Amino acid sequence: MARIIAGVATSHVPAIGVALDQGRTQEPYWQPLFAGYEFSKRWIAEQKPDVVILVYNDHASAFSLELIPTFAIGCAESFAPADEGWGPRQVPVVEGHPELAWHIAQSTILDEFDMTIVNRMDVDHGLTVPLSLMFGQPDRWPCKIIPLAVNVVQYPPPTGNRCWNLGRAIRKAVESFDPDLKVMIWGTGGMSHQLQGPRAGLINREFDTAFLDGLTRDPLALTRIPHVDYVREAGSEGIELVMWLIMRGALAADAKEIYRFYHVPASNTAVGHIILENP
Amino acid sequence: MARIIAGVATSHVPAIGVALDQGRTQEPYWQPLFAGYEFSKRWIAEQKPDVVILVYNDHASAFSLELIPTFAIGCAESFAPADEGWGPRQVPVVEGHPELAWHIAQSTILDEFDMTIVNRMDVDHGLTVPLSLMFGQPDRWPCKIIPLAVNVVQYPPPTGNRCWNLGRAIRKAVESFDPDLKVMIWGTGGMSHQLQGPRAGLINREFDTAFLDGLTRDPLALTRIPHVDYVREAGSEGIELVMWLIMRGALAADAKEIYRFYHVPASNTAVGHIILENP
Amino acid sequence: MTDYNEAFKDIPGTVVFDATQSRLGFHLNQFCMSLMKAANRAEFKADEAAYLKKFPMSEGQRQAVLARDYNRMLALGGNIYFLAKIGATDGHSFQLLASKMSSVSEEAYRAMMIAGGRSVEGNRSKSEGK
Amino acid sequence: MTDYNEAFKDIPGTVVFDATQSRLGFHLNQFCMSLMKAANRAEFKADEAAYLKKFPMSEGQRQAVLARDYNRMLALGGNIYFLAKIGATDGHSFQLLASKMSSVSEEAYRAMMIAGGRSVEGNRSKSEGK
Ligand SMILES: [Fe+3]
Ligand SMILES: [Fe+3]
């Protein structure tokens, strides 16, 4: 039986990818940030997940305004890095896990989630930057990846409660998949940041800390945060945090925090990172 | 306040469109079929709906296997007839109602339906044949249309219960839309038919009659029909009937049947048609 | 969930387009989608084998297309709504396709439909059919 | 639901990309998407005004693009993730864009971020800000 062994959350700032790709990780500006992922890289090398379900949002790369899925699950064999306007990142192609992805699609649709199934999709920094942070710069990503793209660009995004429940449905799906796989689920985006308008640069360490605390202490309380509070407290792009609730919903109630990192700034963003292990 | 005044269900057989477009409606084969819609055409000319929410499925026209939304709502200004392999039907362009469509999208997403918002989409016979049956051959469709495309091609389609609940959420959305609009909701596809394999041509009048009866007598019972029973009893394409449950879910519990028509065959299909008025 | 998929397999003469079929037939069905453009239909008709080579499908799938063996195409992952675009390109009606798949003449098929269609009796379950 | 949309309007210096903005900015944002192809970026750079004419956007939107007035583009329905493609085409960092939108120099903006970012205090509500 497949099982979810752990959840990882991390910001997915595009500038982090640029710093990595340009070999600038040891610059004083970037060094503290990458240092914060050293533990995580050692940890995941030991954990050796077979598959990562990677919850992220597309940033107007694969999806324009022509078609906006609320939840899109990538069932393809592979996904190429997207050209976001400065050429695609020179990182490995992402290999999918079509069997498990289709299984999750089927299981969640029968559990009355209205998934969009995607068989051709380029993946942007929202997906590739977390891979770089956790796996460094290998020639090939060391596991299979199932992209799960969540709309947080066009309002309204899904509610926090809906995200949580999707996480629960994903857990049920994984646990009903026969092959004996070690699966992780990652939630990406956030933490507080605002990229637009006169309020750009907003950071809210207090909100972020409470959110990180809530992930272990009282995750259900987080599911009741309305969208307007994310935008007000964590900036317009802080809304990405709803994706962390999919990750958290897929874990056991008593999942244990084994690592946490918080750093301001990476470009415009408060970088938050947490690892939760299932018992 | 906008309100849903009635629901209409009808099959959407492509051959019906061909017969209409080629002026063959008076041929002995087709005459009884079109006669069955004479009442409906008079009725709808009197009703003068402002908007029709048209629930249908795309038949590999707008959506290939690259991307398969479970529920896609068309929010564009207009939708062109699709080229399904023999050139587009020569029928008017479908004019949308972006304000109401976006309102429904927002309301249903906040009610935790995971809608896909679509702003560019061609519409195939699944949408245009019902328009022809109900409105004949005008130069311009007499009302605005909001396409709601439901996946019934790739398994699994949404459950009957999920469709029903989406209908309820649509009703709530319409009733919270300020402008004073007369809205109809149509469910299309079905009834029993199978287009594939050695069992092609399957028709099940008994099942179809029970389904039509159930729409007024006990619609909730219909929501509990499992997918396998549709395929077994109503043929592989009979699964389209789940879309009728979205229509029915959007109506009042005591909606009244004012017209019914049933005819076998149109090409490979049992044609069913029912009109239900809200009290 | 396994039960969900298995249940359909008891239904005779029917291929349910589930994940397995969808993955198997992806490129076959993408080929069919390409026939929605008039220019592609013309190119396909001019040299079918050459056109099919442009799509990374299996040789078995290509042969089934060339032979217009719809049941074989269904078995190899084709979905009927996609395959219908081949029929449309040929100028064939859906009834002709249906008659081929059920191995009767088009007239016999049409007559069956006019007489009320194929009965569900004996066609519900593989065990019942025997 | 009106309440849902209205609530965001109390937040200062922020445009929420709702249905109204999305409809207003559709073609502006589609133009931005076109910049994901290197050939289109080159064509845009060669003659910006001519390239913009290819998209059915308003004259105001075209002027805002030419002037790289990002706040104006936001007001006219642009979404920041789409608009970022203009910045990328210009070779500008997101921080430069952010400094422009908040009307400070890039250095001042960078310094603010290094010092912990813009405080939420006084930035939660339009009434609070006054
Ligand atoms: Fe992001
Ligand atoms: Fe249909």
**Residue corresponding to tokens 């927002």:** B106
Starting from the CA of residue B60, give the closest ligand: 2
CA of A57 to the centre of ligand 1 (A): 6
Query: Is position B273 annotated as part of the catalytic site?
Result: no
Q: Quick one: which ligand is closest to B191's CA? A: 2
Of A106, A107, A119, the CB nearest to C26: A119
Q: Could you confirm whether A59 is annotated as catalytic?
A: no
* Predicted confidence (pLDDT) per residue in B52-103, tens digit: 999 999 999 999 999 999 999 999 999 999 988 788 999 999 999 999 999 9
Domains and CATH numbers, chain D: 17-91 (1.10.700.10), 92-122 (no CATH)
Confidence at residue D92, expressed as pLDDT on a 0 to 100 scale? 93
pLDDT class of A87 with cuts at 50, 70, 90: confident
Residues of A in contact with C82 (CB under 8 A): none
Alpha carbon distances (Å) from A232 to A202, A207, B24 = 10, 11, 62
Count CA atoms within 13 Å of residue D79 on its CB side. 29
For B40, B237, C53, the CA distances from B261, given in Å and listed in that order, are 10, 20, 48
DSSP per-residue string spanning A133-194: HHH-S-SS-SSEEEEEEE--SSSSPPPHHHHHHHHHHHHHHHHT--S--EEEEEEE--SSB-
The arithmetic mean of pLDDT across residues A96-103, rounded, is 98
Give the pLDDT score at C130: 46
Of A193, A235, A201, the closest CA to residue D104 belongs to A201
Closest by CA to B211, choosing from B185, B193, B197, B194, is B193
Q: How far is A234 from chain D (nearest CA, A)?
A: 8
Give the mutation candidate from B65, B66, B89, B233 for the C interface (greatest C CB count, under 10 A).
Answer: B65
DSSP H helical ranges for D9-122: 19-24, 26-34, 38-46, 48-52, 59-66, 70-75, 80-90, 94-101, 106-114
Give me the catalytic one of B193, B227, B263, B273. B193
At D130 the pLDDT is 46
> What is the per-residue pLDDT for D127?
87
Beta carbons within 10 angstroms of residue B48's beta carbon: 10
Q: Has residue A66 got a pLDDT over 70?
A: yes
For residue D128, how far is its CA from the centre of ligand 2 (angstroms)? 56
Cβ pair C1:A98 closer than 8 A: no
Block means of pLDDT (10 residues each) for chain D, 130 residues, are 89 97 98 95 97 98 98 98 95 94 96 97 83
Please list every residue in chain A whose beta carbon sits closer than 8 Å to the beta carbon of residue D2: none
pLDDT in tens, A32-63: 999 999 999 999 999 999 999 999 999 999 99
- Per-residue pLDDT, averaged over A263-274, amounts to 97
Distance C82 CA to ligand 2 centre (A): 12
In angstroms, the CA A129 to CA A15 distance is: 9
Residue B17 alpha carbon to ligand 2 centre in Å: 12
Q: Which chains touch A (3 or more CB pairs under 8 A)?
A: B, C, D
Taking residues A69-82, report their average pLDDT. 98
Q: What is the mean pLDDT of chain B?
A: 97
Confidence check: pLDDT of B121 > 90? yes
Structure tokens at B237: 């394409």
The whole-number average pLDDT for the span A242-258 is 98
Q: Which of A66, A69, A158 sits opposite B69 (nearest CB)?
A: A69
Cα of C82 to nearest chain B Cα, Å: 6
Nearest to C23 among A98, A107, A176 (CB): A98
Which positions of chain C have pLDDT values less than 50?
A: 130
Q: Do A155 and D113 touch (CB under 8 A)?
A: no
pLDDT of A77 reads 98
- Determine the average pLDDT of the residues in A201-208: 98
